[in-house]
Amino acid sequence: GPVVLIDTAGLDDEGQLGLLRVEKSKAVLNKTDLAILVIDGQSELTEFDVKIFQEIKAKNIPIVVVVNKIDLQKRIMPHSIVEQLGNDVVEVSTVTGAGIELLKGLLIKNTPEKWGEETLVGDIVKADDNVVLVVPIDSAAPKGRLILPQVQVLRAILDNDANAIIAKENKLKEALANLKRPPSLVITDSQVFGEIESIVPEAIPFTSFSILFARYKGDLTTYINGVKALEKLAKNDKILIAEGCTHHRQKDDIGTVKIPKWLKEYTGVDLTFDWVSGGQYPANLAEYKLIIHCGACMLNRREVLYRNSIAKEQNVPIVNYGILIAYLKGILPRVIKPFQ
C-alpha cells in the first residue's frame, strides 16, 4: 500500500530559528508509525543520538537504527549500539547499496502488528448490500469532484463487494423509492442531518461520513463522552475548533460559521472561539472548555490519537464534527446505533 516517507530537517540546529526548525521536525513524531534513526557510521554514538532515540521510544513508536557510511574505512561497531540502545540495528551504505535489503527486512519486522486493520465500513457492510451516500453539492463543494471522505467511503463500499448509490439531499426520497431492496445503510454529510433524518425510515441504519471517520481515525467513545460538555458551557468559555486541512474558507464554512452559530443557538450564551488548521495544534489546551475536531480525513490515525491523548491528559473534552452536529440535532443515539 501507499507509504509516506518524511525526511525531517536537522534535529541539532542551534539559534532561535534553528530551535523552531527542531520543534517542527519533532512534531512529525506525532504522526509517525515507524521511525528510522540514521547514525553517522564514522562517529561514536553521541548523547544527542541517545536522547532522540529515547524520545521516539517514549512515544511508543517502533524504531530501526541505521548506521550509514559503512563503505568508508572508519566506522562504529553495531554491537556497541545494540548494547547501549537495546534495539535493532542495521549497517548500510547509500553509495554501494549494501545492507539495504536487510534494512527493508527490519522495517517489515518492526511494522506495527495492527497497522491498517481499522476499517471504515467493513464490519457494518457485507457483500451485495445497498448503501446510499447522501452528498450535498453546496458552495463549499469542490467543482467537478467529490471530497476525500466521500471518495474513501465509496471505495471502501466497493472493496466490500457492496453496491453504492449516490444522491443529493434533495433527491434522496426518490433514490430510496427507486430501490427494489431497501439499503442496509444510509451515510450522509453531517451538515444535512436535519433534512435527511426525517426521510430515512427508522428501520434503516443511518450515520454520517464524519462519524465513520470518528471511529476509523480516532475514538468514538471519547467523542461521545466529550459532547456532553456542551451542557456545562457558560458565557465566554473558550472553544478550540481544529481542522486537519487548510482549505479555503467559504462564506458558510462549517468550522468558522455554522458550528459557532449552532452552538450559540443551543447554549444561549456568547462563546469565544479559537481556530487551528493543518499541522497546527497547541500543546497547552488547559484554557479550553471543549475541543471540536473535524473528521480528520487529511490526518493519519496516530496523529488523531495523539491529539485526543493530550486533550485527555489536560482534562479537556474533545468531540468531532459529526458527533457534535448529531447531538445538537437530537439524533445522536440513532446515528451511532450502527456501531453498537
SS3 240: strand
pLDDT one-digit tens code per residue, 201-241: 999 999 999 999 999 988 899 999 999 999 999 999 999 99
Interior/surface letters 310-329, b for 16+ CB within 10 angstroms, e for the rest? bbeeeebbbbbbbbbbbbbb
Tell me yes or no: is domain 32-109 CATH 3.40.50.300. Answer: yes
| Beta carbons within 8 Å of 172's beta carbon, 6+ residues apart | 132, 134, 186, 196, 199, 200
Determine the pLDDT at residue 47. Answer: 83
CATH fold of 130-212 reads: Rossmann fold (3.40.50)
> Tens digit of pLDDT for each residue in 281-326?
888 899 999 999 998 888 888 899 989 999 999 999 999 999 999 9
Domains 130-212 and 218-333 share a fold: yes
- 5-19, 176-190, 211-225, 254-268, range with the lowest pLDDT: 5-19
Least confident of 14-18, 38-42, 91-95, 216-220: 14-18
* Residue 51 pLDDT > 90: no
- Sheet holding 130-134: strands in order across? 163-167, 130-134, 185-188, 206-208
Residue 144: per-residue pLDDT: 84
Query: What are 116's three cell numbers?
Result: 491498517
What does pLDDT average to over the chain? 88
The residue extents of the domains of the chain are 32-109, 130-212, 218-333
In terms of Cα–Cα distance, which of 103, 329, 48 is closest to 207?
A: 329
Chain centre to alpha carbon of residue 177: 36
Amino acid at 185: L
pLDDT (0 to 100) of residue 75: 64
pLDDT in tens, 263-273: 999 999 999 99
Q: What is the pLDDT of residue 89?
A: 85
What's the CATH code, domain 218-333? 3.40.50.11410
pLDDT of residue 244: 85
Give pTM, 2 decimals. Answer: 0.81
pLDDT of residue 170 exceeding 80: yes
pLDDT at 76 over 70: no
- pLDDT surpassing 90 at residue 338: yes
CA distance 212 to 51: 38
Count of residues making up the chain: 340
Helix (H, G, I), strand (E, B) or coil at 180: coil
Q: For residue 78, what pLDDT band results from cuts at 50, 70 and 90? A: low
- Cite the DSSP H helix spans in the chain: 15-27, 47-58, 78-85, 100-109, 148-159, 172-177, 193-197, 209-217, 220-226, 259-267, 301-313, 321-328, 332-336
Angle at 331 between CA 197 and CA 314, to 5 degrees: 140
Q: How confident is the model at residue 139 (pLDDT cuts 50, 70, 90)?
A: low
Question: Is pLDDT above 70 for 85?
Answer: yes
Residue 132 confidence (pLDDT):
98
Rounded to an integer, the average pLDDT of 174-193 is: 95
* Grid cell of 142 as nine digits: 469542490
In this prediction, residue 77 has a pLDDT band, given cuts at 50, 70 and 90, of low
